[in-house]
A and B are shown apart, each in its own frame.
Chain A
Amino acid sequence: MAAEGTLRKGRKAPYGLLTPGMLWLVLFFLVPMWTLLRIALSEKPNAFLPDYELTWKWSNFSHAIDRFQPELVRSFAYAGIATLLCILIGYPLAYFLAFKAGRFRSILLGLIMVPFFTSFLIRTIAWQTILGQQGPALGLLRALSLVSVTDAIGLTQDGAFLNTPQAVIGGLTYNFVAFMILPIYVSLEKIDARLLDAARDLYSTPAAAFRKIVLPLSLPGVFAGTLLTFIPAAGDYINAELLGNVKTGMIGSQISKLFLKESNYPEAAALSFIFMAIITIGVLVYARILGTEELTA
């Protein structure tokens, strides 16, 4: 009886330890979400006054979708391309770090992180200078007379890097690539080297060993990296504002404009909600497809 009692107590302890986390979630996630949803369904009788009426105005949602469809599509397209580029750049780099870097591993890992000690904004503003008409990037291309080539392959537009969709996607890739490298590196580094020895003993080619052992074992890292890259990239608008043009606006700046320029809080809240809903659904579908039991189990 007594033993059973302590056992039961022991089972409850983990729940007790969860309390701070749960409180955090309720206070900083559920309550704001609830407020946001309420505003999204409200009406502002007078745009200049701070009062709302909860009128269950669902048309805030349909109106927001109608009006901002291009920006929604663009945000996800840019973030998707940037994420793909991050995988293409990040995976080989992480692979090299995990298996080939040897004693330089920690130095190289540090070097990857160094630029990120500078603020996000400063880094993006720096790209304006680098990509500008008088910047080193175009200077090099001009010196090599390659501008027409880069124009033809779509890397530049009319001889300009800056203020193009390419620059926005490049900026997003640059700013988030570290969040791709690190999770992949961690999952690769965990791989038991003896598995690869065993594969070799069984006459597997290196390519087959990579395909059948390394790649599946590193997928959780790719999955985590994708989340860490795609979600903030889709919501980012600094890159679009600083490196893009009038046709590269992303959803973040539209939400901000609705709030701050038009005083239209209900529609801004509705748009935020739509954006979050799409991301959540997307992530769930992605998790399904990638089959990351390792991550969730």
Chain B
Amino acid sequence: MTEHLDPELAAAIQMARRLSRRRFLAQAGLGAGALALGPSLLAACGGSSDSSSDGSSSGGMGDKELRISNWTAYIDQDDDGNFDAPGSTIALFQEQSGVKVTYKEDFNDNDEYFNKNFSPILGKGKTLSADIVMPTYWMAARIVGLDWVEELLLDQIPNHENLDDSYLDLAWDPGAKHHMPWQAGATGIAYDPSKTGGDLTSINDLYDSKLKGQVTFLTEMRDTVGLTMFGMGADPAKADVSDIDAALEKIQQATDDGQILKFTGNEYLRSLENGDIAACIAWSGDIAQLDPELGIKFAIPEEGGMQWFDTMVVPKGSPNQVAAAKWMDFVYDPENAARITEYVQYMSPVKGVKEALEAMGGDAAALAENPLLFPDEETTSRLKVFGELSQEDEIDIQSRFNDITG
């Protein structure tokens, strides 16, 4: 979508980069949604899309070029937004491997990408114009399940062993043979203590009538429903449908009562900064990047927080699978991973990043002590990934959730 953006808006986003990590456009339906209808309709009509090329889905072992589609502000770059500035991860990778990288920030939203690219292109057996894309875990699980993803060339990714153990026993991809996590984060609550009149510790604090009309929730169903489930004593990792139903009912009630002001993507940051809301459901990385002087606090609720991660997958039929393997191996080197962490300030799935940051000294070393990036064990034990949903349940729940979010 980035190339469709109004240049002015692109500039504004660039300026607000610090605040507008991702999901900014897509979730608000800003631009993205408005422009999306046309192309997706056309793509849906069965015509071929310009971003696809006909051909077999057997893929190829190319090692000369690599096309990456990622979320915005999700890799180190210079102030002008050049991804391949000297000393950047992409520049170093190109030097070392001889692979030419085309890097695009055109992954704005999981569902949007699915309905504009994965489904109409991969679903028709054509190939995507990207060799690595970074969907969120549940979307990765979906496309792995649909067999739209190439198996990784693990023998060419020795650094795969640096993958944090917690990612190795996921039900949808045991041993992580089809994906390698890019960055991870936690969903919790953010609040302005001057407005809430004290610290918030429980997700149910957001349902407290004291904060009526001063609270926003996320349009990301798994985050909002998952946290609400925690507050009701249910386990989102189990994703039990009756628990989800109860949570949806509670959210519906709070919406009708005027407790929840609105559902947002990461525009909640602007609302928090401007003092238009007192508290919200928020992503850890957003708050990590905020100006500390604002006094905004972030907490993983005592009942539990949602863990999520975006992950690298190679779409079916990619002609550059060797180059993709080289890239994954490169960014799983702790030093390279630390450089990316220093910029994006999310939790890294790569072992040894903390030590690498400490070795870098200065501001980077300070990040190694940041609990938002490296939560202690007690916090980690409270984080859970939303359980898997059957296709039918997922569509049903998503549509009922959409009815609530307005």
Q: In the complex the two chains form, what is the Cα distance from A259 to B33 in whole Å? A: 9
Contact yes or no, B120 A121, CB < 8 A? no
B387 within 8 A of A: no
B395 and A262 contact, CB distance less than 8 A: yes
Whether A48 contacts B142 by the Cβ 8 Å rule is yes
- B33 near A253: Cβ-Cβ < 8 Å: yes
**B31:A121 contact, CB within 8 angstroms:** yes
Please report the C-alpha to C-alpha distance between residue A245 and residue B123 in the assembled complex, in whole angstroms. Answer: 36
A245 and B260 alpha carbons, distance in the complex (Å): 9
Q: CA separation between A262 and B392, bound complex, in Å?
A: 11
Contacts of B395 in A (CB 8 A): 47, 262-264
- Residues in B with CB closer than 8 Å to A186 are none
Contact of B276 among A67, A132, A237 (CB under 8 A): A132
A62 within 8 A of B: no
> For the complex, is A170 an interface residue (Cβ under 8 Å from B)?
no
Of B8, B37, B116, B406, which one neighbours A119 at CB under 8 angstroms?
B8
CB atoms of B34 and A263 under 8 A apart: no
Q: Is the CB of B142 within 8 A of A245?
A: no
Which residues from A are CB-within-8-Å of B31? 121
Question: A84 → chain B, closest Cβ, in Å?
Answer: 24
**CA–CA, A158 and B261, complex, Å:** 13
Chain B contacts with A in 122-167, Cβ cutoff 8 A: 123-124, 142, 146
- Tell whether, in the assembled complex, residue B275 and residue A50 are in contact, meaning their CB atoms are under 8 Å apart: no
B363 is an interface residue with CB less than 8 A from chain A:
no
CA distance A248 to B258 in the complex (A): 12
Task: Select which of B40, B274, B399, B406 is within 8 A of A259 by beta carbon.
Answer: B40
Q: Judge if B405 is at the interface, Cβ distance under 8 Å.
A: yes
| Cβ-neighbour of B9 out of A52, A122, A255 (below 8 A) | A122
Min CB gap B10→A, angstroms: 10
By a CB distance below 8 angstroms, the chain B residues around A249 are 405-406
The residue of chain B having its C-beta at the shortest distance from the C-beta of A124 within the complex is B30
Residue interface mask A133-144, B partner, CB < 8 A = 1: 111000000000
Q: Are B34 and A238 in contact (CB under 8 A)?
A: yes
Q: Which residues of B contact A46 (CB under 8 A)?
A: 391
Q: Is A295 close to B, CB under 8 A?
A: no
Q: In the complex, what distance in Å separates the CA atom of A36 from the CA atom of B124?
A: 20
Measured between beta carbons, the chain B residues less than 8 angstroms from A246 are 255, 260-263, 404-406
Determine the chain B residues whose CB is within 8 A of the CB of A252 once the complex forms: 29, 33-34
Judge whether B262 and A135 touch: CB under 8 Å.
no
Q: Which residues of A contact B111 (CB under 8 A)?
A: 260-261, 263
The closest CB in chain A to the CB of B33 belongs to: A256
Residue in A49, A67, A163, A264 whose CB lies within 8 Å of B262 = A163
CB distance from B108 to the nearest CB of A (A): 10
Q: Mark A44-63, 1 if CB is under 8 A from B, else 0.
A: 00111111100000000000
Q: A122-B8, A163-B276 are in contact. Are A39 and B44 (CB under 8 A)?
A: yes
Is there an interface contact between B262 and A265, defined as CB atoms closer than 8 Å? no
Q: Is A129 an interface residue (CB 8 A)?
A: yes
**Known contacts A134-B274, A246-B262: does B37 contact A256 (CB below 8 Å)?**
yes
A64 to B130, CA, bound (A): 35
Q: How many residues belonging to B are interface residues under a CB distance threshold of 8 Å?
A: 50
Q: Is A118 located at the chain interface by the 8 A CB criterion?
A: yes
Bound together, the chains give a CA A122 to CA B111 distance in angstroms of: 25
Beta-carbon contact of A49 and B119 below 8 Å: yes
Is A220 an interface residue when CB atoms closer than 8 A count as contact? no
Interfacial chain A residues near B8, Cβ < 8 Å: 118-119, 122
- Given A128-B270, A261-B111, also A121-B261 (CB < 8 A): no
Is the Cβ of A259 less than 8 Å from the Cβ of B276?
no
In the assembled complex, A35 has its CB within 8 A of some CB on chain B? yes
For chain B, what secondary structure do more than half of its interface residues adopt (helix, strand, loop), or is it mixed? helix
Cross-chain contact of B33 among A51, A119, A160, A260 (Cβ < 8 A): A260
Could you say which residues of chain A place their CB within 8 Å of the CB of B170?
none
Q: How far is the CA of A265 from the CA of B119 in the complex (A)?
A: 12
Q: How far is the CB of A250 from chain B (nearest CB, A)?
A: 9
* Cβ-based interface call for A244 (8 A): yes
Q: Could you say which residues of chain B place their CB within 8 Å of the CB of A244?
A: 262
Chain B's nearest CB lies how many Å from the CB of A76?
Answer: 17
> Given A122-B12, A158-B213, A256-B29: A133 and B262 within 8 A (CB)?
no
| A142 CB, min distance to chain B CBs, angstroms | 13
**A134–B275 touching, CB < 8 Å:** yes
A247, CB-defined interface residue at 8 Å: yes
Asked if B391 and A48 make an inter-chain contact with CB atoms under 8 angstroms apart, the answer reads: yes
The residues in B between 7 and 47 inclusive whose CB is less than 8 angstroms from any CB of A are 8-9, 12, 28-31, 33-34, 36-37, 40-41, 43-46
Which residues of the other chain, B, contact A119 by a CB distance below 8 angstroms? 6, 8-9
Using A119-B6, A246-B263 as known contacts, say yes or no to A48 and B12 having CB atoms under 8 A apart. Answer: no
Whether, in the assembled complex, A219 has its beta carbon less than 8 Å from a beta carbon of chain B, the answer is no
A274 to chain B, nearest CB (A): 15
Verify B123–A49 contact, CB threshold 8 A.
Answer: yes
A259 touching B398, Cβ below 8 Å:
no
B146 contacts A48, C-beta separation under 8 Å: yes
- Of the residues A245, A248, A253, A262, contact of B399 by C-beta under 8 Å: A262
Is A245 touching B29 in the complex (CB atoms < 8 A)? no
Q: Report if B58 contacts A (CB, 8 A).
A: no
Mark interface residues in B385-406 (1 if CB within 8 Å of A CB, else 0).
0000001000100110011111
Chain A residues within an 8 Å CB radius of B275: 132-134
Binding site for B on A (CB under 8 A): 32, 35-36, 39, 46-52, 67, 118-119, 121-122, 125, 128-129, 132-135, 158, 160, 162-163, 237-238, 241-242, 244-249, 252-257, 259-265, 269
- Residues of B in contact with A (beta carbons under 8 Å apart): 6, 8-9, 12, 28-31, 33-34, 36-37, 40-41, 43-46, 109, 111-112, 114-116, 119-120, 123-124, 142, 146, 213, 255, 260-263, 267, 270, 274-276, 391, 395, 398-399, 402-406
A-B contact pairs, 10 of them (CB 8 A): A39-B41, A50-B44, A50-B123, A67-B403, A121-B9, A163-B276, A242-B267, A249-B405, A259-B41, A260-B115
Known: A132-B274, A135-B274, A256-B34. 8 other contacts (CB 8 A): A46-B391, A48-B391, A125-B12, A238-B34, A245-B406, A246-B404, A252-B29, A260-B116
List 5 tightest A-B contacts by C-beta distance, closest first: A249-B406, A256-B33, A132-B274, A133-B275, A50-B123
